[in-house]
Amino acid sequence: MKFTDGRRRVVIEDVTPQIDAGSHPVRRIVGDEVQVSAAIYADGHDLLAARILYHHRTERRWRSAPLKADGNDVWRGSFPVDRIGGWSFTVQGWIDRFETWAHDLKKRLDAQTTGRGLNISAAESDPRDIALVFRSGAMLVHEASLRARGADARRLLDAASLLDRLAQDKTTPYEYPFSPEIHQLMATYADLRRATEFEPELPVMADRERACFSAWYEMFPRSASAIPGQHGTFADVEKQLPQIARMGFDVLYLPPIHPIGRAFRKGPNNSAVAGPDAVGSPWAIGDREAIPCGIGNVKQNDDCGGHKSIHPQLGTFADFDRLVQSAKTHGMEIALDIAFQCSPDHPWLAEHPNWFQIRPDGSIQYAENPPKKYQDIYPLNFESADWRRLWGELYSVFEFWIERGVRVFRVDNPHTKALPFWEWCLDKLNTKYPDVIFLAEAFTRPHVMYGLAKRGFTQSYTYFTWRNTKAELTSYLEEITRPPVSEFFRPNFWPNTPDILHKTLQEGGRPAFMLRLVLAATLSSNYGIYGPAYELTENRPAKPAPGKTESEEYLNSEKYEIRQRDRNAPDSLVPLITLLNGIRRANPALHANESLRFHAIDNPNLLCYSKSTANFGNTILIAVNLDPFHEQTGWTDLDLDAIGVLAQRDFAVEDLLNGKNYMWRDRRNYVALQPGIQPAHIFRIVR
């Protein structure tokens, strides 16, 4: 009941951070201080006290952290999330009876000495009043002593006795009787019986650092063989690990590794007819005949050949386990692609036809976007009457691979699976395996994208690929790197993917690949590329679909065929990538996005921005030429506060891309950038 004790006079409102009235957690990194604010007030003029109550979800006892008044009834404080996983916090406020009393007493004592000057009448400076106030105080301190133990209790009891004695002492003027230590003790043993607690408790998810700082490399294992024409294996990928690690990537992300359906298999360039050698799309998941159930090292389950199986041509579970281990020794993690959809040969179609939509003729509904049919793909039906078992099975897919050592997942098209499912599934997984990272491939409308992030995805793909102009980049980045979005949504910027070769890259060629790489790697602390197509600046698009004039698909897309490439070919971007990843690692300013600020520069083709750690320990100032064709020049108008530089002063900058040093001065400085040669300045401000 709201009014069980009407004497709780303190009101608490506007507690931050919170998302949708506490329905979803804000996301932080383990070790962060969570900054908390709240409006806390009561009637009248009593002094208040307040604190944060917080605990890790697994802890029974609440911990507390102080809140301090910051003017206009707003209180601020912070608490550390020193363990990975889910946390809760709330705010507690109460009337600080003792400080109110002390404040009142001090005013009386002041008046006692200055009273005559202020024209206070005799009655008003009556020392008997002060004696009464001393007695009230003695009662407060005595009560606190009953809440304390041991030495503290004795000290408070002594303080109460002192006040009582003073109250009886008729010698005036009185003096203020208490030391700061007594005030500290009174705060420690505050009377919380009528404290107000904000409801509901607000959730915070503390992720590991890689959740917000990671460099991803996507590659198709089947293209990894060094022998021309041969299907690549996990062992072939293993051989490339040293080079990928040298480039500076943290996460090696593999498209689905499961058996690929045979029925309606797609041929090269997404052709409806596949030749006998066609390898098919890894996203057409499932071939129940590829993996004999319960044989060999595959456990007995009703998913043989499905999401818990490995495509036989890639290798065995032992090969996979070795790859996972080997990646670790190179400081990388393997990310799996979880695509909850089935080929016609997936075991779920046979075992659980009720997990799919059934057509009136009893057949299972394949994917359609009328009039187009995608008969190689069967979507799951989240309105299945058997939804509980479906949810359980999908959850178990993640758990299966987690138990095999996978800690990073890229989730395919999460926006075509029910949001309540993700909320349930990711909460369960985040609770049990808080170190697991989920990247949502949600190329969809903003509300849906953000809705998925709120429901537990650690990172998300973004619209970065389609944000190319200065205005587009500025407004998008300002949206996603600031509250409320930044509280729950962590961008991961991809200049390309196997599905998306943007026009900018198609037309801008190598200089465009360079500038988009710099943008992705520095605007967003999480970024990734699909290689070796990126290193090799592959930019030939597929033939446009009938009726269209453009395509964002790759020509001879690796989605449908094996593409063996040499990422060390002449003109490869490997050196630039290696340099950029090195710069990212060495400069903590680039490990997060919240400090991102754009700076004015008087050329629409130049983008200028900075990132900084707290107190400007590390500050990176970047200028990028967005035009892949022409040199662009311009004058900055720097926001000096954002980079911790004083007005009218020289400051040294080191260009981390070419090692050169410059002296800059004040707000206005000259920039000239040549596409393909020097696409950007990445300045570290030398302090």
Window 450-469: contact mask with a second copy (x via CB under 8 A): -x------------------
What's the per-residue H, E or C state across 288-313? CCCCCCCCCCCCCCCCCCCCCCCCHH
CB contact at 8 A, 25 and 201: no
Active-site annotation holder among 207, 303, 441, 553? 441
Angle at the Cα of 487 (from 449 to 482), degrees rounded to 5? 90
Is 169 considered catalytic here? no
Grouping H, G, I as helix, E, B as strand and the rest as coil, residue 404 is: coil
Token pair belonging to 490: 């962590």
Q: Of 110 and 158, which has the nearer Cβ to a second copy?
A: 110
320 backbone dihedrals φ, ψ, rounded to 5°:
-65, -45
Grouping H, G, I as helix, E, B as strand and the rest as coil, residue 463 is: coil
* Beta carbon of residue 119, minimum distance to a second copy (angstroms, whole number): 4
CA distance 11 to 95: 11
Report which of 6, 84, 26 is spatially closest to residue 454, judged by C-alpha positions.
Answer: 26
Q: Of 119 and 615, which has the nearer Cβ to a second copy?
A: 119
Q: Of 111 and 235, which has the nearer Cβ to a second copy?
A: 111
149 binds a second copy (CB under 8 A): no
CA distance 423 to 240: 37
Is 594 considered catalytic here? no
In sequence order, which ranges of 76-126 are alpha helices (DSSP H)?
97-114
Q: Of 122 and 295, which has the nearer Cβ to a second copy?
A: 122
DSSP 497: B
* Beta carbon of residue 138, minimum distance to a second copy (angstroms, whole number): 8
Contacts of a second copy in 291-310 (CB under 8 A): none
- For 649-684, give one letter per residue: b (16+ CB within 10 A) or e: eebebebbbeeeeeebebbebebebebbebbbbbbb
**Residues 6+ away with beta carbon under 8 Å from 237:** 219, 221, 224, 252, 254, 323
CA distance 158 to 178: 11
* Beta carbon of residue 445, minimum distance to a second copy (angstroms, whole number): 6
Q: Of 66 and 115, which has the nearer Cβ to a second copy?
A: 115
CB contact at 8 A, 200 and 185: no
* Beta carbon of residue 360, minimum distance to a second copy (angstroms, whole number): 4
Contacts of a second copy in 629-668 (CB under 8 A): none
Options 47, 65, 69, 120; binder of a second copy; rule CB under 8 A: 120
* Beta carbon of residue 189, minimum distance to a second copy (angstroms, whole number): 19
Contacts of a second copy in 245-284 (CB under 8 A): 272
Contacts of a second copy in 412-451 (CB under 8 A): 415-421, 423-424, 445-448, 451
Contacts of a second copy in 321-380 (CB under 8 A): 359-361, 368-373
* Beta carbon of residue 335, minimum distance to a second copy (angstroms, whole number): 23
Q: Of 278 and 293, which has the nearer Cβ to a second copy?
A: 278
Q: Of 64 and 444, which has the nearer Cβ to a second copy?
A: 444
Partner residues linked to 372 by β-bridges: 369
Contacts of a second copy in 505-564 (CB under 8 A): 546-547
Stretch that binds a second copy, among 7-15, 51-59, 290-298, 317-325 (CB under 8 A): 7-15
Q: Is 575 exposed, middle or buried (0-12, 13-18, 19+ CB in 10 A)?
A: exposed
How would you classify residue 168: left for phi > 0, otherwise alpha for psi between -120 and 50, otherwise beta?
alpha
* Beta carbon of residue 518, minimum distance to a second copy (angstroms, whole number): 31
Report which of 150, 156, 164, 157 is spatially closest to residue 187, judged by C-alpha positions.
Answer: 156
Options 6, 229, 276, 296; binder of a second copy; rule CB under 8 A: 6
Which residue do the tokens 């904000």 mark? 198
Contacts of a second copy in 372-411 (CB under 8 A): 372-373, 382-384, 387-388, 391
* Beta carbon of residue 463, minimum distance to a second copy (angstroms, whole number): 13
* Beta carbon of residue 248, minimum distance to a second copy (angstroms, whole number): 36
What are the angstrom distances between the C-alpha of 423 and each of 252, 415, 430, 660? 26, 12, 10, 49
Q: Of 370 and 659, which has the nearer Cβ to a second copy?
A: 370
Contacts of a second copy in 28-47 (CB under 8 A): 39, 41-45
End-to-end CA distance of the chain: 58
Contacts of a second copy in 61-100 (CB under 8 A): 72-74, 95
Options 56, 194, 565, 585; binder of a second copy; rule CB under 8 A: 194
Options 3, 61, 228, 540; binder of a second copy; rule CB under 8 A: 3
Stretch that binds a second copy, among 128-136, 313-321, 324-332, 529-537 (CB under 8 A): 128-136
Contacts of a second copy in 98-117 (CB under 8 A): 104, 107-108, 110-112, 115
Options 124, 158, 181, 550; binder of a second copy; rule CB under 8 A: 124
Active-site annotation holder among 32, 412, 552, 627? 412
* Beta carbon of residue 1, minimum distance to a second copy (angstroms, whole number): 11
Stretch that binds a second copy, among 2-10, 254-262, 317-325, 404-412 (CB under 8 A): 2-10
DSSP 319: H
CA distance 673 to 546: 40
Q: Of 15 and 473, which has the nearer Cβ to a second copy?
A: 15
DSSP 199: S
Q: Of 2 and 61, which has the nearer Cβ to a second copy?
A: 2
How many residues at the interface with a second copy, by CB under 8 A?
72
658-661: list long-range contacts, CB under 8 Å, 24+ apart: 661/686
CA distance 622 to 680: 7
Which residue do the tokens 């662009």 mark? 632
* Beta carbon of residue 8, minimum distance to a second copy (angstroms, whole number): 6
CA distance 685 to 157: 58
Q: Of 162 and 448, which has the nearer Cβ to a second copy?
A: 448
Kindly list the catalytic residues: 412, 441
